[in-house]
Amino acid sequence: MQSIRHPEPTHIEITINRSRMYVSLMHRFEVCSLWSVIAENEKRLLEFYRDGIIGDISVRVIIDAPQQPENAIKALVNHMKEVFKLPLIVDFRPNGMNDFLRFLPIFPVCKRFLLYGTEPISSEALKYIEDNVVVEERYNCMIPVN
């Protein structure tokens, strides 16, 4: 069996927005491995997959994630945290997402939390985020609040 060699991973990166959700195993700015949930035309695909390349062969691993992609992402993130013992860096962009607060249990503690958006969120939602996500190093909030 052939293995894929990457430099030592430094962190797990989670990117969540309306159209795509990624979980990446990172070495600084280099992606070592990437898992993704994709939405097309507001309709979530029923696939949670990982793409990779072994030699010249493209590999895709599919995990079924119907209706609640946050559950599959949470399971993956928890597994990766347990195996790799790495900090989380979260890029959360809730523009156009319904019930975006359901994603918060995925990352209750993270090293960095970046909250971006152009659509305003309520002050109650922002307070809920700040009360339920422990940020160890850096918190950036670049989203309007109404």
pLDDT band, very low/low/confident/very high, at 12 (cuts 50, 70, 90): very high
Q: Pick the closest to residue 114 from 85, 143, 80 (CA basis).
A: 143
What pLDDT does 133 receive? 95
Residues with Cβ within 8 Å of residue 59, at least 6 apart in sequence: 50, 51, 52, 53
Chain segment 13-66, per-residue pLDDT in tens: 999 988 778 888 888 888 777 777 654 433 444 444 555 555 565 555 555 565
pTM here is 0.78
